[in-house]
Amino acid sequence: MRPKRPATREERRRLRSFNKNSLKATVKSPHHETSTHADSTSDATPDPVAMADKLSISSQIEKITTYFHKIDTTKFLLGFLMTIAIILMQYEAQQERNESTTPSSFETTTLKSNNGVRSFNSAFDDLGHQAQSQVPIPMEYSHFVELSEFADVVEALRTMHREKHLQQQNHYTNRRLQENAESDTNLGQDDDEEAQLYDAMDAAWDQTMQQADPSHIQQVQSYGPAVKHVPFFWHIPRSGGTSFSTLFGTCLGLVQAASSYSAPAIYTRWEDKELANRFKDPTLYVVSMKKQRFVNVDLNDLQGVMRAVKGNLISSELADLVMVQDVSMGSFLLEEGRTANVAQSGENKPEFKGVLFAMFRHPVERAISSFYSKQQVRDVNYDPSLAIYSLTDWANSPQYINDYMVRSLVGKLNERSPQNQPALSRTDLDVAKEILRRKCLVGLLDEKTESLKRFEKFFGWNAEARHNSMVMLDGEETAERAQAEIFRKEIVKDEECKDKLLHYNWEKKHTHPSPEEGDMPYKLLESKNRYDIELYIYARQLYDDQYSQLGFDDDSFMER
């Protein structure tokens, strides 16, 4: 085979010219695809692949141009505007949902605990006062008195106290002027006379007050029946209710009508068959259990409430105190009292109205405590299915009930079917706030000692009033001999009893791990209880307001 001859200079020149012209043809615009290559110095043809690509691009451009010519410009603009409008509407709806579930300042709010003291962001504090007075509240709350009635009485008494103080000041001033004119030798005698004069003024004032009360009662009775107030304790689970029930019964000696969820003694009645049968008796009476006294009713469910209604629990005045977890259901008891009054219309019977009070706890802490209590075998709320659950698992499960307090107050709580809870709105939150503002005497778990003092003063449960009335049952002579010794011992016993239940025993109950603020479980529970958290902050504000509104800052008012 003969070797290939090397290309001559002329052949190499022609080959370079061919490659150059081919490159030019590839990058030329489609508008020039039909033009002849005038600048080509060779008669070589362009690459077929490059020509096919140029034809393909040109055809696609022509198709697009034709499609746009066929489009109706008006319809296109209308569709475009409708699309923009739909997007804006969806965005606004999403913003409204975000505002209804999360206050804008919530993420910056601090709810830190430091030895029982909480601090709140000022921006979030303002949200607490957003309860609208014009928001109507459920009809069942008409059975409970307005706290403004008590606030008006406080203000009236304060006015009288100020007038009395002014009179005393005027007398003191006049008396001092007289003293300056008298000799020093008569100064001691003048002091005695002044003291006697003050005593006489106090006696005259007390006599005036006593004379005014009967006339006031007669005036009220002339228009209608007198009102008797029944203390109604709303027991929010894991907020100290069971401990306060024990305290009310053992330390204050109050007769309670309660539920097995509120009073451990009622829960354990099944240990004694005879005692358990008493809670089935149609006739209501007081029974002694665990050194406490209870009416033989269990207000745990509607069946127990209706049995109490049939037995005339309220109108019989057997109980000093009623404890319920469901305020709406408990209000049926007061309807019984009203019905009994109508049935006895021939007589001037009193009308019974409830006075609502409650202890409040931070919703996240309450939820954590509730979870671990449900894992305790001997607890009344024991749930064996939670044995394998973590706190996060439980909060994400259908069994968890979010915003428990708001749901309970507005009647949207379904404890028997937790997965079927009605939706809540900010209107529900406003209604719950309005109920607390108008109807509820507020106590705080992290202020439990002060809260108990308020309850005692407000309802007249202080040891002095109770024991004075008890010793007087034996007659005046017996009272005079025994009062100093027995009364003193009972007062000490009461204080030791309350201190033990409120502090010593309290710290040893239900110890459990607790996530720190900022941990994932804590944040999860915060997100599920946003309404309850805002209601709790509002309750704390009411707690501060009621200190002066209801006279807790004035011992002289409570002693009257």
Closest CA to 235 of 20, 463, 443, 462: 443
- Supply the pLDDT for residue 317: 92
**Region 537-553: what's the mean pLDDT?**
94
385 confidence band (pLDDT: 50, 70, 90): confident
Residue 232 CB-density burial (10 A; 0-12 exposed, 13-18 middle, 19+ buried): buried
Collect all residues with Cβ–Cβ distance below 8 Å to 368 and sequence separation of at least 6.
391, 512, 514, 515, 521, 525
Strand partners, 286: 295
The per-residue pLDDT for range 449-489, each reduced to its tens digit, is 999 999 998 988 875 544 443 333 444 554 455 445 444 44
Task: Say if residue 276 is in the same domain as residue 200.
Answer: no
What does DSSP assign to residue 144? B
pLDDT-derived band of residue 559, with 50, 70 and 90 as boundaries? very low
Token pair recorded at residue 462: 């202080």
Query: Mean pLDDT, the chain, as a whole number?
Result: 75
- The answer to which of 43-52, 233-242, 290-299 has the lowest mean pLDDT is 43-52
293 and 441 co-located in one domain: yes
226 — pLDDT class (breaks 50, 70, 90): confident
pLDDT at position 474, please?
A: 42
Closest alpha carbon to 439 in 183, 172, 149 = 149
Strands 292-295 and 351-360: unpaired
Q: Is the pLDDT of residue 35 over 50?
A: no
One domain for residues 326 and 430:
yes
**What residues are paired with 324 via a beta bridge?**
234
Q: Stretch 496-502: mean pLDDT, rounded?
A: 80
CA separation for the pair 298, 283 (Å, rounded): 13
Pick from 494, 370, 151, 275: nearest CA to 486? 494
Answer yes or no: is pLDDT of 407 > 80: yes
Looking at the domain assignment, is residue 18 inside a domain? no
> Which one is predicted more confidently, 143 or 131?
143
Per-residue pLDDT band for 83 (boundaries 50, 70, 90) equals confident
Mean pLDDT confidence for 433-452 = 95
Q: Are residues 265 and 195 in the same domain?
A: no
In a domain, 504, yes or no: yes
Q: Are residues 293 and 168 in the same domain?
A: no
The pLDDT confidence band at residue 111, using thresholds 50, 70 and 90, is: very low
Distance of CA 426 to the CA centre of its chain: 13
Q: Are residues 176 and 293 in the same domain?
A: no
- pLDDT score at 471: 38
- Domains in the chain, number: 2
List, for residues 516-525, the tens digit of each pLDDT value.
Answer: 888 899 999 9
pLDDT exceeds cutoff 70 at 70: no
- Decide if 236 contacts 360 (C-beta within 8 A): yes
Whether residue 291 is predicted with pLDDT greater than 60 in this model: the reply is yes
User: At residue 130, what is the residue type?
Assistant: Q
Q: Please enumerate in sequence order all residues whose Cβ is within 8 A of that of 422, keeping only pairs 6 or more positions apart, or say none.
A: 412, 414
Considering the domain architecture, whether residues 264 and 293 belong to the same structural domain is answered as yes
* DSSP codes of every residue in 492-520: HHHHHHHHIIIIITGGGSS----PPTTSH
Looking at the fold, whether 427 and 511 belong to one and the same domain comes out as yes
Are 242 and 152 part of one and the same domain? no
| Residues 315, 371 within the same domain | yes
Question: Contact at 8 Å (CB) between 116 and 446?
Answer: yes
Instruction: Give domain status of residue 471, yes or no.
Output: yes
What pLDDT is attached to residue 327?
A: 92
> Do 272 and 200 have their domain in common?
no
| Spatial distance between the Cα atoms of 263 and 210, rounded to a whole number of angstroms | 39
Looking at the DSSP assignment, which residues form a beta bridge with residue 506? none
Task: Provide the residue range defining the domain that includes 197.
Answer: 146-180+188-207
Token pair, residue 246, equals 């024990």
Question: What pTM was computed for the model?
Answer: 0.66
Whether 277 is covered by a domain: the verdict is: yes
Using CA atoms, how far apart are residues 339 and 333, in angstroms rounded to an integer? Answer: 10
Amino acid at 266: I
* CATH number of the domain encompassing residue 536: 3.40.50
The pLDDT-based confidence of 210 (bands split at 50, 70, 90) is low
Per the domain annotation, does 304 fall within a domain? yes
Residue 388 located in a structural domain: yes
Written as one string, the DSSP assignment of 387-415 is GG--HHHHHHSTT--SSHHHHHHHT---T
Q: Provide the b/e sequence for 102-139 (b: ≥16 CB within 10 Å).
A: ebeebeebebeeeeeeeebbeebbebbeebeeeeebee
Query: Are 261 and 340 part of one and the same domain?
Result: yes
Q: Which of 534, 536, 457, 513 is nearest to 231 (CA)?
A: 457
Do the domain assignments include residue 132? no
For residue 359, what are the β-bridge partners? 443
Say if 276 falls within a structural domain: yes
β pairing state of 117-119 and 112-114: antiparallel
> pLDDT: is 259 or 485 the higher one?
259
Q: Which DSSP category does 255 fall into?
A: E
Taking residue 52's Cβ as centre, other Cβ atoms within 10 Å add up to 10
Cα dihedral 372, 375, 377, 381 in deg (nearest 10): 80
